[in-house]
Amino acid sequence: MFHAGRFSLRSTLVLLAGASFLLACVTQQAAGKKRKLDPVDPGDDFYDDDAEQPQPIEPAYVNDASGAFGAGSRPATGAKDASAKNDAGVIGNDAGPVTVKTYCTGPLAAGDLAIVEILITSRSGSGDTGEWVEIQNTHDTCWLKVQGVTIESPRGTSAPDVATVATALEVAPGGTFVVASSSDPTKNNGLTGDVIGWSATDVLKNDGDTVTVKSGTTVLDTITYPAFSNLEAGRSLAFPSDCAKNQRSDWARWSLTFTERVPGQKGTPNAPNDDVACF
């Protein structure tokens, strides 16, 4: 016979046992998992405003000519190898092409050098140390080695005044050197370039004189100038650059110079005689 009270108790026990089993399983599963935490506000103390901030990296070296970093331009060409010759036979360097020296062949001979400008008196009175002559390489294409060359002017019955090129001086085609009473620029009114000294005073005579250029016993050039009526202290006489070389013995072709190189001194020593014209 079916008894309702007994069935209810048994059912209740079964339900309670099942619920306990399920609760134990759920608890065991939950224990094996990590719990996700809620976000936490770190507060104002989390940030340090005084901390050093990273700075942009600057280049250690900037080549302004390289075209980098906003430079406006690059060099047109790079530096040339000074030891490399081009087809024209010249050597290139940073200053531009340099012509290879070609020397005149053979020993020095008559006509290789020529006197082309003279300052007979640099000031009035005696003891003049500023007189000079300019001597030119007459060749257009070759260099002259003039070491040992002498330049002399007679001194009455005394021994002549003689200046000697003691150094390994080389004169370019059409180039010049100067021979002066003194090689000291404080005494010769600031002569520049290659200057050889007579180390004497009043070498050039105002009333006419002869100047001779020699290599050993070989006379390379000699000129005898007259007493000039228009002689002016501190002003040289020059053979114009545009005159033919064979006209140099004609003193009518020579001219008083016009270029003032220093106050009170006119002339073009160690420079072209192009401030005067050939007549």
186: DSSP letter: T
Q: What pLDDT is attached to residue 83?
A: 35
129: Cβ contacts below 8 Å, ≥ 6 apart:
122, 180, 181, 182, 184, 187, 188, 201
> In CATH, what class is 113-266?
mainly beta
- The Cα 147–Cα 203 span in angstroms is 22
Q: What pLDDT is attached to residue 156?
A: 84
The partner residues of 152 in beta bridges, in order of sequence, read 162, 212
Domain-by-domain residue ranges, the chain? Answer: 113-266
Can you give the pLDDT of all 279 residues of the chain as single tens digits? 455 444 455 555 545 555 555 555 545 555 555 555 555 555 555 455 555 555 554 544 434 433 333 332 233 333 333 333 333 334 455 666 666 899 999 999 999 999 999 999 999 999 999 999 999 999 999 999 999 999 999 998 899 999 999 999 999 999 999 999 999 999 999 999 999 999 999 999 999 999 999 999 999 999 999 999 888 999 999 999 999 999 999 999 999 999 999 999 999 999 999 999 998
Reported in sequence order, the residue ranges of 14-101 that DSSP labels E, i.e. its strands, are 90-93, 96-99
Which tokens hold the place of 111? 């006509």
Tokens 């190898």 sit on residue:
81
- The Cα 123–Cα 47 span in angstroms is 89
Which tokens hold the place of 127? 């003891």
